[in-house]
A and B are shown apart, each in its own frame.
Chain A
Amino acid sequence: MADMNEFSLVVRLFLAAYPWRRIDPVPFSSLRKPLKDCRLALVSSAGLVAPGQKPFDEDFRGGDFSFREIPNDTDLSLLEEFHRSESFDHEGLKQDPNLVLPIDRVNELVTRGRIGSVNHRHLSFMGSITAPGRLIKESAPSAARVLTSDEVDVALLVPV
């Protein structure tokens, strides 16, 4: 498992004192139909952007809370990464973006009959957000509106 020892001392001290946001009450939406009939979308926090999209702002105080829509038919080799954290090894996702945004994998699940369909777009955040107030009040609700308008049933969320 990943552990805090992967981080620098400065980051470990920061995290030791960090006031994690507790979700309370915890919402829980049970599956309403078999997965073979469900539409799936991905949400990644790897800071990926598609060609022509605005990069994430690494200087944004508290962390850039915006998100990008990544088309399901995008060429993964053209995605660029703008995650500001130096606390993880970026090499793996550069070799294979499916490691953090598994578009090829979930499309293969449709071929296998495991899920019904893959949404035409996925969502990309830059997860290094230390002050998540505007994420909670603005961009997460906006993301939910995007996916509900697409009639998405299930979402897989992938941090780095």
Chain B
Amino acid sequence: MCNQTVSLIAAELERSGISTVVIQLLREPAVKVRPPRSLLVPFRHGYPLDSPNAPELQHQVIEACLGMLESAELTAPALREYSASASG
């Protein structure tokens, strides 16, 4: 449910002019709910930013999100799969 909840909030923020990226832990809600920008991460539930007490791993996920915001070629709904090597 969390994936849907943050997606619905993201849509409202975008309607207000705020650019958003939603981290997604499951493909199905990302595809069916369709938030504007989704980063699908390969981590288990409860671990959206990879690992606890691992600042650089967490930074890699956040950087991938920021990269989506900067990608002028994206169109909504945009879904990108996270790749640690590509983001770092």
A interface residues (Cβ-Cβ under 8 A, vs B): 1-4, 6, 15, 20-24, 26-32, 35, 43, 45, 63, 85, 87-93, 95-96, 98-100, 102, 104-106, 108-109, 114-115, 125, 127-130, 132, 135-136, 140-141, 143-145, 147-148, 152-160
Contacts and interface: CB of A to CB of B under 8 A. Distances in A.
Contact of B8 (A21, A24, A30, A88): A21
B19 interface: yes
A16 B65 CA distance: 29
Contacts of A156: 20-21, 23, 62, 65
A102 B62 contact: yes
A155 B35 CA distance: 13
Interface string B39-75: 0111111111111110100110011011001101001
Nearest to B77: A26
A102 B15 CA distance: 24
Given A6-B44, A89-B46, A100-B48, A155 B19 contact: yes
B1 A130 contact: yes
